[in-house]
Amino acid sequence: MIQNSIAPEFREALKVLPSFDGLSDQNLAATRKAFIAAIRNVPVTEYPDVTLEECYVPGPSGAPDVPVVIYRPKDKHPYAPALVYIHSGGIVSGTPEVDDARCRQLVNELGLVIFSVDYRLAPEAPYPAAIEDCYAVLKWVHEQSAHLDIDRDRLVIGGDSAGGGLTACLALLARDRAEVKVLFQLLIYPMLDDRTGTTVMPSPELGQYIWTRSANHYAWNAYLGKAPGSAGVSEYAAAFRAKDLAGLPPAYIGVGSLDLFLDEDLEYARRLIAAGVPTEVCVVPGAYHVFDVFIPDAPLSIQFRHSYFTALKRVLSV
């Protein structure tokens, strides 16, 4: 039953939106197809001034090259700001296509260049495959900045859901390897803590729709290769596990008030602030997971999008 706590503009969509509840090895292939099919059913705005190019970036040592979709303004500007973007899908599903609409609009409005990473998925490729693929692309973009016509001093990272969690891990990895300076991290309802719904239980009202406790448990188990909530999980796998958040790039964290990730996202934001990391937080009332992807024209979705577009504009000065 749809609860009254859901914002009215998001209630009707729940009748047709896909749910990841009950995700398993047996239905994973079908779920992956359903996710892409649902994305393709969302009306999208055409941005004729945005161009797409597919390329392959050298992968981590001993691993395959990483497919990347590059979004650019049609009118190239030398030394444009750049965003390495990481798509959603629980680290077990999805491709850059699921965030195609978001990337096109970002390029159209901000004039930046986006490198959307088609990282390897679990369980076929468990940790550290996804994060190392993302780091390989980040390092390549930094090293090839002159050839790519981007300003590596205005290099930011971002992602949503699992991509947001990988973004947070990527910020930690970039800080610790000290090879690439990241200016900003955009964390859109990020998947940060493997313990959520396993050894740490959020409010019962959270995570009832789209991305549920059972889906979260399956995805983390597939990625980690062991039970989520186990001891010894690396902070580069689950960013919430990090002990030290000092020295990370400024952050934006946005999440819905009914999202399974609400508690972990707000606590991570609090810890970032306590560590001296400038952090902006946006909580969308009555919103469940990926609400803005499937109902992009809802007033709350528009407000949410405006909040992180504004945060990016501010840090990139565009």
3 occurs within a structural domain: no
101, 102, 107, 112: CA torsion to nearest 10: -150
Predicted confidence (pLDDT) per residue in 221-254, tens digit: 999 999 999 999 999 999 999 999 999 999 999 9
Q: Which residues are catalytic?
A: 161, 259, 289
Residue 29 is encoded by which pair of tokens? 């292939």
Q: Give the domain CATH number at 55.
A: 3.40.50.1820
1 occurs within a structural domain: no
pLDDT-based confidence at residue 112 (cuts at 50, 70, 90): very high
20 occurs within a structural domain: yes
162 occurs within a structural domain: yes
Output the CA–CA distances (angstroms, integers) from residue 135 to 6, 142, 212, 254, in the order listed. 37, 11, 28, 23
Predicted confidence (pLDDT) per residue in 135-174, tens digit: 999 999 999 999 999 999 999 999 999 999 999 999 999 9
Predicted confidence (pLDDT) per residue in 185-231, tens digit: 999 999 999 999 788 888 888 999 999 999 999 999 999 999 999 99
2 occurs within a structural domain: no
157 occurs within a structural domain: yes
pLDDT-based confidence at residue 16 (cuts at 50, 70, 90): confident
pLDDT score at 252: 98
Average pLDDT of 112-117?
98
Please state the domain count of the chain.
Answer: 1
54 occurs within a structural domain: yes
pLDDT score at 169: 99
pLDDT score at 2: 45
pLDDT greater than 70 at residue 31: yes
pLDDT-based confidence at residue 1 (cuts at 50, 70, 90): very low
Domain extent, residue 256, equals 8-317
pLDDT score at 3: 62
Average pLDDT of 66-83?
93
Global pTM?
0.97
